């Protein structure tokens, strides 16, 4: 049985597909907030989901 929280978070998530070198990367972005875990400190910070999309687009363009 799913909890209400998991159902709500699933409804507010958009999945984006990026193709790179014949491979497909799946990126899931939560539109309420996106938490980026900083590996060196183990802390999280909130970033704009549109910033995530922009950075992924730039990275994808760099490899094409």
Distance, in Å, from the CA atom of 27 to the CA atom of 60, rounded to the nearest integer, reads 12
Length reported for the chain: 64
The torsion region of residue 21 among left (phi > 0), alpha (psi -120 to 50) and beta comes to: left
Half-sphere exposure of 31 (CA within 13 A, CB side): 8
Please report, for the chain, the start and end positions of each structural domain, with discontinuous segments joined by +: 4-63
pTM score: 0.30
**Quick count: other Cβ atoms within 10 Å of Cβ 8?**
12
In this prediction, residue 4 carries a pLDDT of 45
pLDDT tens-place string over residues 5-36: 444 444 455 555 544 544 445 555 544 444 44
């Amino acid at each position: 049985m799913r909890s209400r929280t998991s159902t709500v978070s699933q409804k507010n998530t958009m999945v984006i597909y990026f193709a790179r070198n014949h491979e497909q990367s799946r990126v899931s972005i939560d539109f309420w907030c996106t938490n980026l875990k900083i590996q060196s400190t183990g802390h999280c910070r909130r970033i704009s989901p549109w910033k995530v999309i922009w950075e992924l687009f730039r990275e994808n363009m760099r490899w094409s």
